[in-house]
Amino acid sequence: MSVRVGIVSFAHVHSPAYAAVLKDLDAAHSVGITDEDATRGTEAAERFGVRFFDSADALFEETDALVVCSENSKHARDVVPALKASVHVLCEKPISTTVEDAKAMIRASEASGSQLRMAFPVRYLPSVVRARELVRGGALGRVLAVSGTNYGQMPGGWFLDPELAGGGAGMDHTVHLADVLRWILDVEVKSVYAEVDSFFGAGGTDDAAILTLELEGGPVADGTFPTIDPSWSRGDGYPTWGDVTLRIAGTSGVLDLDPFAQPLRIFDHETGAPSWTYTGEDMNALMLSDFLRGVAEGKPSGASGLDDLRTLEVVLAAYRSGEDYEPKNVERTP
Amino acid sequence: MKVGLVGAGFMGRVHLDAYAAIPEVDVAGVADASIEAAVAGAELVGTRPYASYEELVAAEDIEVVDICLPTPFHRDLALRAADEGRHVILEKPIARTMGDAQEILEAFSGDGPRLFVGHVARFFPEYAGIKEKIDAGELGMVGVVRTSRRSPILLGWNDWYADWRASGGVLVDLLIHDFDFLRWALGKVRRVYARGVLGREYNRLDYALITLRFESGAIAHVEGHWGYPGPFNYSIEVAGSSALLTVDSTEPTSLELVGEPPVSGEVPDLASGKSPYEKQLEHFIQCIEFGEEPVGRAQDACEALRISLAATESVLTGEPVTLGGWS
């Protein structure tokens, strides 16, 4: 049985990739797209050969599940009515720009029984899954520290608007690493120290940061100190979009995780610019398949709304630390 | 120029190898409390071994004392050599404590003998190249810098490297290279936040991650690992507003030999005409000969130690440390 699925908003840069995967998956029946920007939505609908819906409610009626790709601050506005209309939702990260919005989304899911899952595709990459098994199996002994990067190019557009995005690189990229850290090590983040600034052209919002985390709990991660570098430090001259890397140092070994390090290196005679093309598994296909399976079977897996609320709280603590250069406790919402 | 080397351990032998290639230098003797080490060191340059500094300076006319002793012994010998009017080349770190470092600095502050501290990273072609690119503005405004330095832990005299009180661990003995380089390339450090295990909790293992904030605004993330279970390696990445620069010692160099066991320790093989140690020691000797200022002054070595100790304090307190009182 295929799940009837739609997409709400093409604001986020990831939405075309999701639409392309959904068109290909046997488990999905792509119904349509709605977008408050009708021009953008109509163009996307034409491109992917699906219907454009000018009302979200109309799309809810014809779908079992939705992928929400609106701007970060609009997630609650788009997700809560869908959940209330008994439509399951996979929401782009970060869950929202405020704890209140995130809680409203989680409550709506609990009240309606509709699934709220978060788009953390990195969890699905085979090397990440294997790293988790190795670390939890004790291959590194006790984990002393983790040094993580999630680099990218400055995305521009609404990502630079603090109202819509809730922050810059710190908001956009920290959550991926915070999620993977929580998932691999089975820990919560207790406090954060962060140096935050702007160097790479993001203007009024942050495009560079180094976060140092203090963790709570976890049998393999007692006293572990991770750092996260979410900077948009890759420019146009970089041969690929960026990376996600984790270097995990333990008492009996070091694990270097670089799941996108499977490139074809191409040196184009015309442009003179090198480019790397990734040849590994499509993490979006793995994530969307799992979401659809969860919907079909009524057994959700992957990252939950609460998982992403926990990563949002880390980001908010980092921004507070960045203001006065003191470590800040992560205020964990009950 | 007549040089006497004291301390023929790992770093002493590296210096002796470098001196062998510098024609201006006559290594007049090698002293080590272990006479076997002194003999082995002396053989490297065809000179005479001595069982102590006293015997060395009694028998030879030493103008420059090269001190490669464990860090806690730097102060006493440096002060004594200064007293005797001899120039000193001191392996990094200048000392284990700021108090010792300042006493050493003070002893060489006059017009008499001169002091040079071996911060050899400044003589590695890649690091010198990065500094040049930054100074020339080719990277634009420097934003985020990431460095990594990982090494098997050395087995020194009495295993002193593994004794945190003696060596200061990875923050003081190993990462001082990166702190000195970063301060050279980016200017003064405003704030230090660090986490680490301080080489105390584990046997022969130390690991630290440090965030530095510079007066320029730049942010640096520094990784250090002692007891790394692979060959020595380092990397640095400088992300500027107009370019990104990366160096990684694990990438192939101009000359690669496969089949030998991997080289351990802190001295990688470089396919340059002169080793960084040779360049450094030659530079110091020339500074003495011609009265020139070195690329890295003893004061700089003192400030690099200040960063190492601030990182140590941050690990101990869990708080960021703001640096002040810069010269």
Per-residue model confidence as pLDDT tens digits over B97-118: 999 999 999 999 999 999 999 9
- The answer to whether A63 and A4 are in contact (CB under 8 A) is yes
Residue A303 lies in a domain: no
pLDDT digits (tens, 9 = 90+) for B36-81: 999 999 999 999 999 999 999 999 999 999 999 999 999 999 999 9
Assigned domain for B327 exists:
no
In this structure, are A7 and A113 located in the same domain? Answer: yes
Residue A304 placed within a domain: no
**A328: closest CA of chain B, how far (Å):** 11
Inter-chain residue contact A231 with B239, CB threshold 8 Å: yes
Same domain, A115 and A143: no
What's the pLDDT tens digit per position in B7-27? 999 999 999 999 999 999 999
- Looking at the whole model, is its pTM more than 0.90? yes
Cα–Cα distance, A290 to B167 (Å, whole number): 52
Confidence of residue B257 (pLDDT cuts 50, 70, 90): low
A167 and A276 belong to one structural domain: yes
Looking at A82, A99, A119, the residue that finishes a domain is A119
Query: Could you tell me if A12 and A80 lie in one domain?
Result: yes
Domain assignment present for residue A296? The answer is: no
Domain shared by B146 and B87, yes or no = no
CB A69 within 8 Å of CB A12: yes
CA atoms within 13 A on the CB side of B204: 12
A186, part of any domain: yes
- By residue range, what is the domain housing residue A147? 123-283+312-329
Domain shared by A161 and A109, yes or no: no
- Looking at residue A222, its pLDDT comes to 83
Q: Is residue A290 part of a domain?
A: no
Domain boundary among B74, B98, B118: B118
pLDDT of residue B200: 67
Phi and psi, residue B267, nearest 5°: -115, 100
A·B CB contacts under 8 A: 93
- Does residue B272 share a domain with residue B140? yes
Q: Which of B325 and B77 is assigned the larger pLDDT?
A: B77
Do B112 and B146 lie in one domain? The reply is no
Across all residues in chain B, what is the average pLDDT?
93
Domain that holds residue B89: 2-118
Local structure of A171: helix, strand or coil: helix
Model pLDDT, residue B265: 45
B33: how many CB neighbours lie within 10 A of its CB? 15
A143 and A270 both lie in a single domain = yes
Same domain for B40 and B172?
no
Tally the domains of chain B: 2
Q: Do A249 and B213 touch (CB under 8 A)?
A: no
Q: Report which DSSP code applies to B23.
A: T
Q: What is the pLDDT of residue B259?
A: 61
Using CB atoms within 10 A of its CB, is residue B305 exposed (0-12), middle (13-18) or buried (19+)? buried
Please tell me if residue A325 touches chain B, with a CB cutoff of 8 Å. yes
Same domain, A10 and A69: yes
In 3D, which of B237, B199, B246 has the Cα closest to residue B219?
B237
Q: Exposure string (b/e) for A9-41, b if CB count within 10 Å is 16 or more?
A: bbbbeebebbbebbeebebbbbbbbbbbeeebb
One domain for residues B248 and B294: yes
Cβ within 8 Å, pair A195-B193 = yes
Q: What is the mean pLDDT of each run of 10 residues along chain A (334 residues)?
A: 94 97 96 98 98 97 98 98 98 98 98 98 96 95 96 93 96 96 95 97 92 88 93 92 95 95 88 89 97 97 97 98 96 92
Inform me whether the C-beta atom of residue A254 falls under 8 Å from chain B C-beta atoms: yes
Residue B133 placed within a domain: yes
The CATH number assigned to the domain holding B50 equals: 3.40.50.720
Taking only the tens place, the pLDDT of each residue in B301-321 is 999 999 999 999 999 999 999
**Is residue A297 domain-resident?**
no
Q: Do B143 and A147 touch (CB under 8 A)?
A: no
CATH code of the domain containing A42:
3.40.50.720
Chain B residues with at least one Cβ partner in A under 8 Å = 141-144, 146, 150, 191, 193, 195-197, 202, 205, 207, 209, 211, 213, 217-219, 221, 223, 225, 228-230, 239-244, 318-320
- Tally of structural domains, chain A: 2
Residue B288: Cβ within 10 Å count: 18
Q: Does position B266 have pLDDT exceeding 50, yes or no?
A: no
| B150 and B107 share one domain | no
Tell me which of A97, A119, A141 is where a domain ends. A119
Q: How far apart are CA A65 and CA A2, in angstroms?
A: 11
- Looking at the structure, tell me whether residues B315 and B184 fall in a common domain: yes
User: Are residues A80 and A193 located together in one domain of the fold?
Assistant: no
Domain shared by B27 and B99, yes or no = yes
Residue A219 is predicted with a pLDDT of: 75
pLDDT at A218: 73
Confidence of residue B250 (pLDDT cuts 50, 70, 90): confident
Interface contact B209-A233, CB threshold 8 A: no
pLDDT at residue B327 in the model: 36
Same domain flag for A151 and A253? yes
* Final residue belonging to a domain, choices A119, A149, A170: A119
On whether the CB atoms of residues B75 and B95 are closer than 8 A, the answer is yes
Beta partners for residue A90, in sequence order: A67, A117
Q: Is residue B288 part of a domain?
A: yes
**How many other C-beta atoms can be found within 10 angstroms of the C-beta atom of residue B250?**
12
Let me know if residue A292 belongs to a domain: no
Q: For residues B173 and B295, state if they share a domain.
A: yes
Q: Is the pLDDT of residue B243 over 50?
A: yes
| Same domain flag for B207 and B288 | yes
Same domain, A210 and A77: no
Same domain for A85 and A171? no
Residue where the block lists tokens 């404590």: B97
Cβ separation of B219 and A326 shorter than 8 Å? Answer: no
* Domain-terminating residue out of B96, B118, B140: B118
Please state the rounded mean pLDDT for residues B86-92.
98
Q: How far is A327 from chain B (nearest CA, A)?
A: 7
B6 and B27 assigned to the same domain? yes
Is residue A203 less than 8 Å (CB to CB) from chain B? no
**Is the Cβ pair B143, A209 closer than 8 Å?**
no
Chain B partners within 8 Å of A231 (Cβ): 143-144, 239
Residues 170-199 of A with CB under 8 A from B: 193, 195, 197, 199
Are A114 and A221 found together in one domain?
no
In A, which residues are within 8 Å of B197 by CB distance?
A: 144
ipTM score of complex: 0.91
Within a domain: A305 = no
